[in-house]
Amino acid sequence: MTNPRLPIHAAHGTALTARSWQTEAALRMLRNNLDPQVAERPEELVVYGGTGKAARNWEAYDALVAELTELADDETLLVQSGKPIGVLRTHEWAPRVLIANSNLVGDWANWEEFRRLEQAGLTMYGQMTAGSWIYIGTQGILQGTFETFAAVADKISTSSITDGGGSSTDGHGTITGGRGSITDGHGSITDAHGTLAGTITLTAGLGGMGGAQPLAVTMNGGVVICIEVDQSRIERRIAHRYLDVQATSLDHALELAVAARDERRPLSIGVLGNAAELLPRLLAQEAPIDIVTDQTSAHDPLSYLPVGIEFADWRASAARDPEWFTEQARASMAAHVEAMVGFADRGAEVFDYGNSIRDEARKGGYQRAFDFPGFVPAYIRPLFCEGKGPFRWAALSGDPADIAATDAAVLELFPENERLRTWITMAQERVEFQGLPARICWLGLGERHLAGLKFNEMVRDGVLKAPIVIGRDHLDCGSVASPYRETESMADGSDAIADWPLLNALVNTASGASWVSIHHGGGVGMGRSIHAGQVCVADGTELAAQKLERVLTNDPAMGVLRHRDAGYRRAVEVGTAFGLRPEVEQG
């Protein structure tokens, strides 16, 4: 039957549909998550990640909309796994919405129990920013992916990249130059630190998260081959300018990649196929691959297509026999990861990009699955020690001019940050807005609150047409416990301690965030992560300014505290500089 609610779009402009901008923001962002430009399957309430939903079911969605429309500024809406379960009187400093998604008690925190409860209509999977209503499309992950590949470029720029056994050549070869200026109208990076020019990256997955990979690689000057089983995703990424071209076959993809590599020309190439088949094939033919990663939905075996099952039969097969399908998916992931390890053995830079494919491959019988690292310990942790992470904002006016104005404000606030300038300039040139216009950049402790206060002033002074909603990814410095991703290989062995995201949510609630969430699972799957999110609204008022200063200081401070406690010297230095006390000697 036709769903009369579809298509869903966030309201634009300055007219309120709720009782205040604090609740209007939550209502617009909920709807924005389900905009057809943003969501993977809005007809099923799925935003991204294969199963990450914005609301549990359509009845719950309708109730959320109704309650947000009527919610007062001294009331708080409680949401349990996508379903509104109560409105309580609180106060104006309290969050307007508190959200908990997918949380299960330890011994029950597995896919089998979760699916039983989900089938009974008692829970839903919220991913990270789907169930907390702050997903902004593929751009939301793009900047973090850009930072990751920039760090890869920095690492490999100090040595030459070989072609799988041979010596480097000028066409393939030594990585020189780096990040700094924009050339060729493609947003490639050329002369500061590292560059991916002259390299070929191999990856898979072009969904809501993985779709950021091709643009992140080309922004760093490289060539990338992206394998995807879903033709519509390839077409979507090309339409949104995240992907340049589609190859007609694997051999064609490699031909295009080598030609672009030899010209040191950025190029992203999509190819239709199953990574568990195509990666081993490329390895066997000694393809000149320099960097390998993956962003398929491997965290949930039912969202990974096994070899031997047709794409058209995927859903029906998974629903018919989930246990058998899981076994098949894990066997395919084992083959997939075995090929990744094979590339690592040949000298390629190989890393897990946070989707739990290594653990699923281990469960599929492959014993060397953890022979390559996750991206956080390999490249990102030094940023976390400074409280840096993905700071994002959306223009509730719906007017791209508001984002252009905030871009300019951010660059004016931080004139010495060349990487930030490079990113913002590239994003303006290359990033297609999805749903409400939005931006993301990595800012840290001592920076985020300045941006929030500036935005609030711009709203107050009429420079912006409507308020700005400010949030972040849950993939952040102090809001996640995830031993296969954000907290992998912590210096003190505290990878699995989940106190930190819980404290993060409590701190943001106490500091005046507009809505706060605690989720389980995220992009790594059930039993593997606890993470928290916060969102604030810059509505131009003095009260908003007070809240923004506290939340946008205390939230990144949690990242510094978390890493200081683990013994990271840089976090100790940053904590001392910002007067974060107490400074307790480690026992």
Q: What positions carry a catalytic annotation?
A: 441
Residue type, 306: P
Exposed (0-12), middle (13-18) or buried (19+): which is 293, by Cβ within 10 Å?
A: buried
- What are the φ/ψ torsions at residue 528 (nearest 5 degrees)? -120, 0
Distance between CA atoms of residues 336 and 30, nearest Å? 36
Letter string b/e over residues 44-73, b meaning 16 or more CB atoms within 10 A of that residue's CB: ebbbbbbbbbbbbeeebbebbbebbeebee
Q: Which residues pair with 204 in a beta bridge?
A: 227
Q: How many CB atoms lie within 10 A of CB 385?
A: 24
Structure-block tokens of residue 497:
């301690």
- Among 485, 475, 478, smallest CA distance to 506 is for 478
456 within 8 A of 345, measured Cβ to Cβ: no
Contacts of 419-422 spanning 24+ positions with Cβ under 8 A: 419/150, 419/179, 422/179, 422/180, 422/181, 422/182, 422/189, 422/192
Residue type, 383: L
273 within 8 A of 250, measured Cβ to Cβ: yes
User: Three-class SS of residue 500?
Assistant: helix
Distance between CA atoms of residues 302 and 203, nearest Å? 20
Contacts (Cβ under 8 Å, ≥6 apart) of 240: 138, 211, 432, 434
- Among 267, 289, 266, smallest CA distance to 278 is for 289
473 within 8 A of 144, measured Cβ to Cβ: yes
- Among 518, 536, 558, 542, smallest CA distance to 102 is for 518
Length of the chain: 587
